[in-house]
């Protein structure tokens, strides 16, 4: 009985730590992507995701997780077409899961993202002439003790940070790096 309680305590502590790590990853990716001032390049995306990899090093995140980074912006349209758009979107991690709220290009020509991104009642919108870095991090929890001990499932966090001071929101690829798209 004591061994069971020790194992249960270890598993719950590991699960709580995984929640903390995934939450930190979401905030760190959104914050770091929002801090890039002069214009954003694919090389910057690689650096932002490398920072997340450091946070996730103890989780075996690569094959079991996915980070979705979206640049949410005002679509610049008027009237009934006015809304938000996902100008660009990049992903890291091998977990086969789609972005929850839309894909790159959604909302560009219409008001499909009129209310922004996020859960109902907690949607995020970008002001005109700027962007919001919206991040979704999903992780299939990998138990410490073994499968079947607890059914703890998938961990998911979202975070959003305003872009600070960047004038050009379009993404470039000056080094011809592989685009980390979400396909």
Looking up tokens 């090389």 gives 43
Q: How far apart are CA 90 and CA 2, in angstroms?
A: 46
Residue 132 located in a structural domain: yes
Number of domains forming the structure of the chain: 1
Identify the pLDDT of residue 165: 83
In this prediction, residue 149 has a pLDDT band, given cuts at 50, 70 and 90, of low
pTM of the complete model:
0.93
Identify the pLDDT of residue 147: 67
Residue 183 located in a structural domain: no
Identify the pLDDT of residue 46: 98
Identify the pLDDT of residue 162: 96
Instruction: Find all residues with CB under 8 Å of 151, minimum gap 6, and list them.
Output: none
Residue 19 located in a structural domain: yes
Phi-psi group of 60: left, alpha or beta (phi > 0 → left; psi -120 to 50 → alpha; rest → beta): left
Identify the pLDDT of residue 28: 98
Identify the pLDDT of residue 69: 99
Identify the pLDDT of residue 3: 83
Residue 10 located in a structural domain: yes
Identify the pLDDT of residue 148: 62
The vertex-66 CA angle with 20 and 128, nearest 5°, equals 90
Bridging pattern class, strands 65-74 and 40-41: unpaired
pLDDT, tens only, 104-116 = 999 999 999 999 9
Residue 182 located in a structural domain: no
Q: How far apart are CA 123 and CA 133, in angstroms?
A: 13
β-pair partners for 140: 154
Identify the pLDDT of residue 123: 95
**% of the chain with per-residue pLDDT over 90:** 79
Residue 43 located in a structural domain: yes
Q: What is the DSSP string of 58-114?
A: TTTHHHHEEEEEEEEEE----GGG--EEEEEEEEES------SS--TTTTSSSSTBT
On the 0-12 / 13-18 / 19+ scale of CB atoms within 10 A, 41 is middle
Looking up tokens 């502590």 gives 13
Does residue 128 or residue 168 have the better pLDDT? 128
In this prediction, residue 167 has a pLDDT band, given cuts at 50, 70 and 90, of confident
Q: Give me the count of residues in the chain.
A: 183
Residue 180 located in a structural domain: no
Boundaries of domain holding 9: 2-172
In the predicted structure, residue 171 carries a pLDDT above the cut 70: yes
In this prediction, residue 10 has a pLDDT band, given cuts at 50, 70 and 90, of confident
And the tokens for 98? 């789609």
pLDDT, tens only, 12-65 = 899 999 999 999 999 999 999 999 988 899 999 999 999 999 999 889 999 999
CA of residue 1 relative to chain centroid, distance? 41
Residue 71 located in a structural domain: yes
The count of C-alpha atoms lying within 13 angstroms of the C-alpha of 133, restricted to the half-sphere facing its C-beta, is 28
Cβ-contact 44, 173 below 8 angstroms: no
């Amino acid at each position: 009985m004591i061994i069971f309680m020790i194992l249960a305590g270890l598993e719950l502590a590991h699960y709580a730590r995984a929640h903390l790590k995934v939450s930190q990853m979401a905030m760190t990716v959104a914050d770091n992507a929002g801090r890039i001032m002069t214009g954003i390049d694919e090389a910057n995306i690689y650096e932002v995701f490398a920072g997340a990899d450091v946070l996730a090093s103890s989780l075996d995140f690569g094959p079991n997780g996915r980070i979705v980074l979206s640049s949410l912006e005002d679509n610049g349209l008027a009237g009934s077409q006015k809304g938000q758009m996902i100008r660009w979107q990049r992903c890291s991690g091998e977990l086969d899961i789609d972005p929850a709220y839309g894909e790159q290009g959604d909302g560009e020509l219409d008001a499909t993202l009129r209310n922004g991104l996020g859960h109902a009642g907690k949607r995020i919108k970008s002001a005109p002439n700027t962007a919001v870095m919206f991040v979704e991090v999903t992780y299939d929890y990998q138990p410490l003790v073994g499968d079947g001990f607890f059914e703890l499932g998938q961990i998911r966090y979202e975070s959003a940070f305003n872009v600070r001071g960047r004038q050009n929101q379009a993404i470039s690829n000056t080094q011809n790096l592989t685009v980390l798209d979400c396909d």
